[in-house]
């Protein structure tokens, strides 16, 4: 079986090949309900159509952007007529431009139209907005009425009725309904009303119950996925409204909003550039152009859906929702669906194998029953004597065969994966982890390595300046209200320090609703600005007095930020630079002395400063250097100097380790998951934090990114098993490490990232984890999971739930295969020996409901237990149905078949049944015992190895509800629905007998778990990995 599954039903969890996707689809057979089975499977035809549509639309957009001069001249010619015909509702609302005209500016890159309205200031006037204060919140409803909402037209969600209809598409159920209808007709003819309708009506009512329960389960799943999808698309953007900078949902954006953009952001609507520095936008998602576009006053048009690749800026929103090109593109594309997960594919394979076996047994059963019937007629010489009763009997045989197919084909197997994943994803959302791709939750359970960032993930991201070295002295910052922190510095040094803080920053000080100042920016920028305010500086005054000419924003490659500023005393310019301490120090030739003068930086002083930096870093402080350079050359207006700076200060920033991180790291190590820290910080800072978290041990290796990149592939392969910390790393270093881990060491790698430059590593990893708070939209789009609170503990929760999904599906498969084997063998043997199936059609449909939909609900939604994180991860290609599972399946099947066949053939004697209804009572006892065997086996399946299967059972709400519902409904069927289910009420002694027969399976499970199962360890190769040996290290060794 495993070889067949590996050959036909093996797909990669991430970016599976088209060939693999087509191969498993063609291998699937014996499908009862294709609509339901393939609902959560990607539609390859739609996907190919989407690809073609996107290409055509991109071509049209490219033409619209670059080849529309003639059209723009035509628009210019009729512009006066447009002004005259301004709609009344637009005029009454106080606006001077209609929605279509303003939307055409960005869409068509209409510079003439923009100039005609007076550029950006004029356009702001006609949409009644101040470029300084932004939109007035109270006027937003009017803007919605005139210019629309920032939402795209979506296909209406499927209602409950559609799920009912899909559940009814099951071919076997349709055949049974037809057979039931015929049975009612024949029954009325032969037995009259109402007796003649009971058999057929019972089947129809059972089918309706199955359809209803299935539809409810599927509908609830769809609601969970819809909620997750809505959360994923809800991007938070920064805008200026009511005179202050604030964060709003992308859905709340309106025409006239002033939006702030920075590296990695997605442009949330069409708009016009107001101001900014070095703004570059990747428009490939719309136009297909790979080269980034420079956005400036000459080319000010920004399109929704594009990504900010570099720089920062502000834009005026000119169109939203369906009036943007991105909106039109989204509507034009149909839903091709997400790729199916490896477990879904594998279980489709298992369902196919079992379906073929079930179909064979169904045909054999029908042949045996029909043959016995015909032989019996021949022996009694009644071959020419046929009645409606004979027809009804053959119809019942046919129904029995169809029922065997219904029970034997485990349609719910692949759907159980979806149910389990939907449940896990919903729970993870409450635990601050948003799973974007189904397969990620599944794959995370197999993760053998987590490459994590430091800042904000292992640490709190609430930074404060803790120490500063300036004028050859180190000061410790101990108070929040001390204005005399720098007692040793002169007024000139003090002012120079504040200039470097307030002018060279991407943060902004804004007033909140309560009137208090708050800082909007990265945690590092916020810490430095707070320190500047602590020194008595005023952010606003520095912003007003100095004119910023150029900005070189910080990114993870440069590891520095620089600005060029025009000084207020006229003509002079000055460059400020801050960033990674050793990088800035190398760019400095001078140092600020006590009275503010620049003096040459000697080699001895350089060594002393390096020692200060190392000292700060060893105390787990992030170190930054602040520097400046006076610029006298007028030719350098187009660039910021890159050397010969004067060092002002070294700043040490404290970023405490998050509570619970050390315990979370220990949990990972106990689970066989190696944790590696990758950071851009100084190596001593990284080592100090890694030791505090329990990541770096005495035998572990810490290395700088540059040293790692310089090593050969062979050297990398030798050091990576011991590598625990990589400091001063670039995004390329992270990408290289992930590739080596995956391709050379065959690890299943999860990697965290927050910046736009982390996208390649997130894309390359088995599981990409983007940060929800600090992460950019580019990083989130490349990720599989978004960690909403940026907390390492949340990442461990994803791994825990990933393992729970895998184990829960194994539990369900074990349970369902046991029921399948018992039902098949019981029906076939009974048919061969006695000429009749032991269970009626209605009874078998009820059993099918227990083992399929209800079984999946009970077992596939079990919450994770702590034991899951005390075992090694599942390997890449390990057998899904393990030896332990086969032991339990075969053992339970033998017991159930033996006891039920004993009842079938010796039950009247064993139970001492007498009277005319002895056979009816026996058949009811067999049915009751069979159901209780499944109830107790469902409890057995909660743990495949441990004897105590009751641990945590009563706290599992769903499991208990399914158990109680099953038992209650079984009582109702036996005691009150006998005419439909062909049962009779039982005495309390026979009820007790049935329950005890089922309960014995608990004892059987205990005996089976004492039978040892050899686990065959295979040698790990490049293609197959069956076991993973966890490294012997942990936080206690740190």
- pLDDT tens track for 298-318: 889 999 988 998 888 999 999
pLDDT of amino acid 41:
78
Assess whether pLDDT exceeds 50 at residue 1034.
no
How far is residue 862 CA from its own chain's centroid? Answer: 19
Confidence class for position 80, pLDDT limits 50, 70, 90: very low
Task: Report the alpha-carbon distance of residue 408 to residue 139 in Å, rounded.
Answer: 63
pLDDT of amino acid 78:
47
Catalytic one of 98, 310, 453, 733: 453
Task: Report the alpha-carbon distance of residue 823 to residue 818 in Å, rounded.
Answer: 9
Confidence class for position 365, pLDDT limits 50, 70, 90: confident
Residue with tokens 């799920």: 163
The three-state secondary structure class of 252 is helix
Percent of the chain with pLDDT over 70: 92
Task: Indicate the Cα dihedral angle 484, 486, 487, 493, nearest 10°.
Answer: -120
CB 1035 within 8 A of CB 664: no
Task: Report the alpha-carbon distance of residue 648 to residue 651 in Å, rounded.
Answer: 10
CB 794 within 8 A of CB 432: yes
Q: Write the CA distances from 903 to 427, 796, 919, 929, 931, integer angstroms.
A: 45, 50, 11, 9, 14
Question: Any idea which of 711-715, 766-770, 828-832 has the lowest mean pLDDT?
Answer: 828-832
The residue ranking higher by pLDDT, 404 or 598, is 598
Active site residue 43: no
Q: Full-prediction pTM beyond 0.85?
A: no
Q: What tens digit of pLDDT does each residue of 128-154 get?
A: 999 989 999 999 999 999 999 998 877
Assess whether pLDDT exceeds 60 at residue 562.
yes
Q: What tens digit of pLDDT does each residue of 164-223 get?
A: 888 888 777 787 788 778 778 777 777 777 777 877 788 788 888 888 888 888 888 788
The residue ranking higher by pLDDT, 1025 or 248, is 248
> Looking at 477-522, which runs of residues are DSSP E strands?
508-511, 517-520
Spatial neighbors of 790 by CB under 8 A, at least 6 apart, are 456, 457, 461, 754, 771, 772, 773, 774, 775
Assess whether pLDDT exceeds 50 at residue 1033.
no
Confidence class for position 695, pLDDT limits 50, 70, 90: very high
Cis peptide before 97 (omega within 30 of 0): no
The residue ranking higher by pLDDT, 795 or 638, is 795
What is the rounded radius of gyration, in angstroms, for the C-alpha atoms of the chain? Answer: 35
Confidence class for position 479, pLDDT limits 50, 70, 90: low
Assess whether pLDDT exceeds 90 at residue 587.
yes
Assess whether pLDDT exceeds 90 at residue 87.
no
DSSP-derived pairing of the beta strands 588-592 and 573-580 = unpaired
Mean pLDDT within 483-501? 80
The three-state secondary structure class of 605 is helix
Mean pLDDT within 472-481? 77
Assess whether pLDDT exceeds 90 at residue 967.
yes
Q: What tens digit of pLDDT does each residue of 388-399 get?
A: 778 878 887 887
pLDDT of amino acid 333:
63
CB 493 within 8 A of CB 535: no
The residue ranking higher by pLDDT, 479 or 246, is 246
pLDDT of amino acid 1021:
34
Number of Cβ within a 10 Å radius of residue 512:
11
Considering the chain, what is the average pLDDT of its residues?
84
Assess whether pLDDT exceeds 70 at residue 540.
yes
CB 563 within 8 A of CB 503: yes
pLDDT of amino acid 1007:
95
Task: Report the alpha-carbon distance of residue 484 to residue 478 in Å, rounded.
Answer: 11
Task: Report the alpha-carbon distance of residue 911 to residue 923 in Å, rounded.
Answer: 12
Task: Report the alpha-carbon distance of residue 763 to residue 543 in Å, rounded.
Answer: 40
Mean pLDDT within 500-505? 93
pLDDT of amino acid 449:
94
pLDDT of amino acid 487:
63
Mean pLDDT within 944-956? 89
Task: Report the alpha-carbon distance of residue 777 to residue 232 in Å, rounded.
Answer: 11
Assess whether pLDDT exceeds 50 at residue 500.
yes
Q: What tens digit of pLDDT does each residue of 25-40 get?
A: 888 877 777 777 777 7
Assess whether pLDDT exceeds 80 at residue 43.
no
Q: What tens digit of pLDDT does each residue of 748-775 get?
A: 999 998 877 788 899 899 999 999 888 8
User: If you ran DSSP here, which 8-state letter would residue 15 be given?
Assistant: S
Confidence class for position 635, pLDDT limits 50, 70, 90: low
Question: Any idea which of 232-241, 265-274, 397-406 has the lowest mean pLDDT?
Answer: 397-406
pLDDT of amino acid 671:
92
pLDDT of amino acid 480:
60
Q: What tens digit of pLDDT does each residue of 331-360 get?
A: 766 555 667 788 888 888 888 888 888 888
pLDDT of amino acid 694:
93
Task: Report the alpha-carbon distance of residue 629 to residue 295 in Å, rounded.
Answer: 28
pLDDT of amino acid 334:
54
């Amino acid at each position: 079986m495993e070889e067949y599954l590996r050959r036909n039903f093996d797909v990669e969890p991430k970016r599976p090949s088209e060939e693999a996707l087509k191969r498993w689809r063609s291998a699937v057979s014996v499908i009862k309900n294709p609509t339901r089975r393939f609902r959560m499977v990607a539609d390859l035809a739609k996907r190919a159509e989407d690809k073609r549509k996107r290409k055509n639309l991109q071509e049209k957009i490219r033409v619209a952007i670059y080849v529309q001069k003639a059209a723009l001249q035509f628009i210019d010619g009729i512009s006066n007529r447009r002004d005259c015909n301004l709609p009344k509702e637009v005029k009454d609302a106080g606006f001077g431009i209609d929605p279509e005209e303003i939307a055409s500016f960005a869409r068509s890159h209409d510079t003439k139209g923009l100039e005609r309205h007076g550029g950006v200031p004029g356009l702001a006037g006609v949409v009644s907005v101040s470029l300084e204060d932004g939109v007035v919140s109270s006027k937003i409803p009017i803007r919605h009425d005139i210019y629309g909402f920032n939402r795209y037209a979506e296909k209406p969600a499927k209602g409950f009725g559609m799920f009912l209809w899909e559940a009814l598409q099951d071919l076997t159920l349709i055949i049974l309904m037809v057979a039931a209808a015929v049975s009612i007709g024949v029954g009325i003819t032969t037995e009259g009303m109402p007796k003649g309708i009971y058999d057929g009506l019972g089947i129809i009512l059972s089918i309706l119950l199955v359809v209803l329960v299935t539809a409810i389960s599927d509908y609830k799943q769809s609601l969970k996925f819809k909620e997750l999808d809505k959360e994923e698309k809800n991007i938070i953007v920064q805008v200026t409204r009511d005179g202050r900078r604030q964060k709003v949902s992308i859905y709340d954006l309106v025409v006239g909003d002033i939006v702030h953009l920075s590296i990695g952001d997605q442009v949330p609507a069409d708009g016009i550039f107001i101001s900014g520095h070095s703004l570059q936008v990747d428009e490939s998602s719309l136009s297909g152009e790979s080269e980034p576009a420079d956005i400036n006053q000459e080319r000010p048009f920004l399109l929704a859906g594009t990504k900010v690749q570099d720089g920062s800026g502000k834009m005026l929103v000119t169109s939203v929702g369906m009036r943007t090109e991105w909106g039109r593109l989204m509507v034009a594309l149909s839903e091709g669906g997400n790729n199916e997960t490896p477990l879904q594919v594998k279980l489709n394979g298992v369902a196919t194998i079992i379906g073929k076996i079930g179909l064979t047994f169904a045909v054999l059963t029908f042949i045996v029953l029909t043959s016995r019937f015909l032989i019996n007629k021949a022996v009694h010489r009644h071959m020419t004597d046929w009645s409606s009763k004979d027809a009804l009997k053959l119809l019942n045989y046919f129904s029995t065969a169809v029922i065997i197919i219904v029970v034997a084909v485990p349609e719910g197997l692949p759907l159980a994966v979806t149910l389990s994943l939907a449940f896990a994803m919903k729970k993870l959302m409450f635990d601050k982890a948003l799973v974007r791709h189904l397969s990620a939750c599944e794959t995370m359970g197999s993760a053998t390595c987590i490459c994590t960032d430091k800042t904000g993930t292992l640490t709190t991201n609430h930074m404060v300046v803790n120490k500063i070295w300036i004028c050859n002295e180190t000061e410790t910052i101990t108070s929040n209200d001390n204005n005399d922190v720098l007692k040793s510095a002169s007024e000139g040094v003090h002012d120079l320090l504040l200039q470097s803080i307030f002018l060279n920053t991407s943060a902004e000080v804004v007033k909140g609703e309560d009137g208090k100042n708050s800082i909007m920016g990265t945690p590092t920028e916020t810490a430095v600005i707070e320190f500047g305010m602590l020194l008595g500086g005023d952010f606003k005054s520095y912003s007003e007095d100095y004119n910023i000419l150029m900005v070189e924003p910080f990114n993870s490659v440069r590891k520095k930020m620089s600005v060029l500023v025009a000084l207020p005393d006229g003509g002079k310019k000055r460059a400020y630079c801050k960033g990674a301490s050793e990088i800035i120090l190398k760019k400095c030739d001078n140092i600020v002395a006590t009275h503010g003068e620049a003096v040459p930086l000697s080699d001895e002083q350089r060594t002393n400063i390096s020692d200060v930096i190392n000292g700060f870093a060893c105390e787990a402080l992030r170190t930054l250097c602040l520097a400046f350079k006076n610029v006298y050359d007028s030719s350098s207006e187009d660039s910021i100097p890159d050397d010969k700076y004067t060092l002002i200060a070294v700043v040490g920033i404290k970023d405490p380790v998050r509570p619970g991180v050390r315990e979370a790291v220990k949990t990972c190590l106990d689970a066989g998951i190696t944790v590696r820290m990758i950071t851009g910080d100084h190596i001593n800072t990284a080592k100090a934090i890694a030791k505090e978290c329990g990541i770096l041990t005495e035998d572990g290796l810490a290395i700088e990114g540059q040293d790692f990149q310089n090593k050969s592939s062979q050297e990398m392969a030798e050091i990576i098993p011991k590598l625990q910390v990589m400091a001063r790393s670039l995004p390329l270093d992270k990408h290289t490490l992930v590739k080596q881990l995956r391709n050379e060491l065959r690890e299943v790698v999860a990697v965290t990232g927050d910046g736009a430059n982390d996208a390649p590593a997130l894309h390359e990893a088995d599981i990409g984890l983007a940060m929800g708070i600090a992460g950019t939209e580019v990083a989130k789009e490349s990720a599989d999971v978004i960690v909403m609170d940026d907390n390492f503990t949340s990442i461990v929760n994803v791994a825990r739930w990933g393992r729970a999904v895998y184990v829960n599906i194994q539990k369900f498969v074990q349970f369902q295969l046991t029921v399948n084997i018992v039902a098949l063998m019981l029906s076939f043997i009974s048919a061969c020996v006695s000429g009749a199936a032991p269970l009626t059609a209605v009874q078998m449909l009820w059993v099918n409901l227990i083992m399929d939909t209800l079984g999946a609900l009970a077992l596939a939604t079990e919450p994770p237990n702590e034991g899951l994180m005390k075992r090694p991860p599942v390997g890449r290609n390990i057998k899904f149905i393990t030896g332990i599972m086969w032991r339990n399946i075969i053992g339970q099947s033998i017991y159930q078949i033996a006891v039920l066949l004993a009842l079938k053939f010796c039950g009247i004697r064993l139970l001492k049944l007498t009277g005319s209804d002895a056979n009816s009572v026996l058949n009811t006892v067999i049915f009751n015992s069979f159901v209780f065997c499944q109830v107790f086996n469902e409890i057995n399946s909660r743990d495949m190895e441990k004897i105590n299967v009751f641990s945590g059972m009563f706290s599992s709400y769903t499991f208990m509800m399914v158990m109680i519902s099953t038992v209650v409904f079984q009582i109702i069927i036996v005691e009150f629905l006998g005419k439909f289910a062909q049962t009779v009420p039982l005495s309390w002694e026979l009820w007790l007998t049935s329950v005890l027969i089922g309960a014995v399976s608990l004892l059987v499970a205990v005996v089976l778990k004492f039978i040892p199962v050899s686990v065959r360890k295979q040698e790990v190769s490049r293609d197959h990995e069956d076991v993973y040996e966890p490294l012997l290290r942990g936080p206690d060794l740190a």
